[in-house]
Structure 1
């Protein structure tokens, strides 16, 4: 997989402390492969990203408290039918409940193959006259906007339009 990536690509292996999920990962180091892909295998990412780590941890705690206090009145209600609550509970009434039982997955039956319907009559292609009329309308509208708008707006609008074109080609030319 890494060998097929473009030069300049970056892989951040979050499991590098335990050996990593990528075959090129070296724990604690940044490795550049022969085709120019960088594999980041830092084992101290929480220390390198303290703000993001704190935000993610805080968000997880808030979401856990929302699960514990469903009525929003501050009273904790432990619902053992909730998969998350059951998974984080270690002791209940003096009895060890860890590890949680495996989650039962109900496999859905495969959907029956859909019948292929006969293709519907193709819609008539729009006339070239309509296309040119819309283009002419857009040019007239832009000309009017250029005549009444301040110069700063036109400069910003030009940059915006060019960035849209560049962004389109950057996104759609990714292979």
Structure 2
């Protein structure tokens, strides 16, 4: 698998991966009625470095890397990851996260933080601790899940 910076040519495939996840409203705290332009602006905004994961010339995942906060919080990175629906369960999210940890450290970040991991997102809650993230906070009922109702959100953190 190759992970590389996203290009304008990748936008249709990135939208194909990202838009349905955001619109489902089960794992990301974004409006579920976002247009494709809004999805693109969110995932590929000027504050982010957006990358894609490819296998055999096909994009199978995407992630972004950015500063978690501006100013005095800019030494902590933040990322979002999504895997293509037909590529799940193959370790792609793990490899994208491993890549992002190296990339973040190379860019001078001192830590990485996930601000709002939905507790019902079992894959993320299982994987991130395997990659060194600790749950440092729990926000009870902070996410209004479309299926489960009020659901806890977790704050996860690790030093680089």
Question: Which band: TM-score by shorter chain?
Answer: under 0.3
TM-score computed with the length of structure 2 as normaliser? 0.20
TM-score computed with the length of structure 1 as normaliser? 0.19
Q: Which structure features the higher share of helix residues? A: 1
If you compute each CA radius of gyration, which structure gives the higher value, 1 or 2? 1
